[in-house]
Chain A
Amino acid sequence: MNKKGKLLAVPTLVWLSLFFALPLLVMLVVSFYQRGLYGQVVPSFTIDNYLRFFEPLYMSILVETLIVSFITTIGTLLLAYPLAYYISKIPRSRQNIWLILVMVPFWINFLIRSYAWVIILRSQGIINTVLLKIGIIEIPLNLLYNWGSVMLGMIYTLLPFMVLPLYVSLEKLDKQRLEAAYDLGATRLRAFWHITLPLTKPGIIIGSVLVFVSSLGMFVVPDIMGGAKSMLLGNVIQNQFLSARDWPFGSAISMLMIILSALLIALYYKAMQWEDENTRLEGD
């Protein structure tokens, strides 16, 4: 096989150019078009779709989405770090089992995982049924269809995205540096704060970017577990395409979301390189 072997990559590259890159370009173009009377896309240039996004209504949804994404990221980080730390400390053979167990839910879709919570939290759900039976409450609690349930659902569904990058970072951690710190009389807490935490920064960044970007585009969890008031940017976009039938405006919001995601993903790659360099240094 000579250089012709490179041709093996052609189907993939052509396919992804046609059905991944091209659609995004078309979306970019449509975001500068106008909506016709009957919801069709009219090809005449305008930047109104972008200007409209800066109306207070959408700005407040953007702010809410950013806040929810931020809380989700912090929440998953706080839950995932100790878990990833634990996994990195147990013997190899058990590490694999734990990783698979944490990984499996990643493949079950958001819809079904948030639906599982609906069964537990709804007014005829399991928690309310139990509490009513015991007699602690007399009328069912409103556990579902509020911001709290949306946050719970987001943290629940996005958790696997955080655990794995953290584990990878913790796994690569140079144990000698920790031992040196202990030899010099550092307490466990100090050693964690001054060595483990800074050295696992790449994992923290990678996990945070993955969770934050996924929360930005989330519409299933608010749709299933949130009430009419808990709308995120993803739901607004979805509405523009399905009920409002304003594709150009929906495309404009999508483009803004892509730009934001791309910026964050750039940060992710920086963190990846950083991690590679860190390990290479330690390997020398």
Chain B
Amino acid sequence: MKRLLSIFSFSMLAFIYLPMLILVIYSFNSARINAVWSGFTFDWYRSLVDNRFVLEAVANSLTIAFANMIISTIVGTLAAYAFYKYKFKLDILWKGLIYFPILIPELLMGLSLLILFSQVNIPLGKVTLLIAHITFSIPFVYMIVIMRLQDMGRELEEAAQDLGATPWTTFFKITLPVISSSIFASALLVFTLSLDDFIISFFVAGPNSTTLPIYIYGMIKRGITPEINALAALMIVTTMILVMIAELLRRRGSKNYTPFY
């Protein structure tokens, strides 16, 4: 029984990773039309670098991901600290406001933002994209940081205060060092989230603010080419590396690993 279970689990891992692995391998296949392996090539990657539109999309994606990372990490961390430290009136309402964005289908979030922007006449572009990305990122930062704060417990801070540390000293010397790895982790994760987001971006991006996932969608709709494989493979590998680093950071110093749901 135990054996069966472990065989099943390893095959699930294969089920999860094989399709993506195959995609990465085939991005080096020189055949243009079919899946017959006809030799190793970097051609598809080379043609990406020569493609002005791809470079533009990459630049857009990186700019927005970076700006989003800075803003949502700061804003979300502050809120996590406030909610950890103080009791709020209407607590359930505020928590709902923070958690609901994670739970509702992304489609609805993207569309409702599209309606808002068009009703108040904000033209779609990089600004609307950034606003949308910050909106779905803040709750993630909040959750990751507040989990670390709760994990830390209050004893350390209380001890510092008993020894005469001012609240500010306590915050900068005790609290911040303890939660810093989770802040970095959340920054990396929302950077990835933003780089990777397709659904919400699809509705709030303008003609001059195409991001990488939106560009890939357009390519797929026009027909399957090896260049898409190369681009998708790059995205898979980048995302995996970023998330791995973030997860390692998040677990550092934390007693137990809790996935956040």
Contacts and interface: CB of A to CB of B under 8 A. Distances in A.
Given A19-B132, A113-B20, A250-B111, A9 B12 contact: no
B260 to A, nearest CB: 8
B235 A1 contact: no
Interface string B210-253: 00010011001000100011001001100110111001000100
Interface residues of A, number: 91
Given A164-B259, A214-B105, A11 B19 contact: no
Contacts of A159: 16
Question: In terms of DSSP, what is the predominant structure of the interface of chain A?
Answer: helix
Interface string B125-166: 000000110110011001000000000000000000000000
Contact of B196 (A95, A101, A109, A128): A109
B104 interface: yes
Contact of B259 (A99, A116, A214): A99
Contacts of B240: 104, 108
Contacts of B65: none
B135 A9 contact: no
B107 A237 contact: yes
A59 interface: no
A43 B41 CA distance: 57
A170 interface: no
Contact of A213 (B76, B78, B103, B229): B103
Nearest to B2: A89
B22 A119 contact: yes
A126 B19 CA distance: 11
A249 interface: no
Contacts of B83: 9
Interchain residue pairs A-B with the least CB separation, the first 4: A217-B105, A12-B79, A23-B112, A9-B82
Interface of A: 1, 3, 5-9, 11-13, 15-17, 19-24, 26-27, 30, 41, 79, 82-83, 85-87, 89, 95-96, 98-105, 107-113, 115-120, 122, 124-126, 128-129, 133, 156, 159, 161, 164-165, 167-168, 188, 206, 210, 213-214, 216-220, 224, 234, 237-238, 241, 247, 250-251, 254, 257-258, 261, 265, 268
Given A79-B12, A82-B9, 6 more contacts: A19-B134, A111-B213, A124-B34, A234-B107, A250-B111, A268-B103
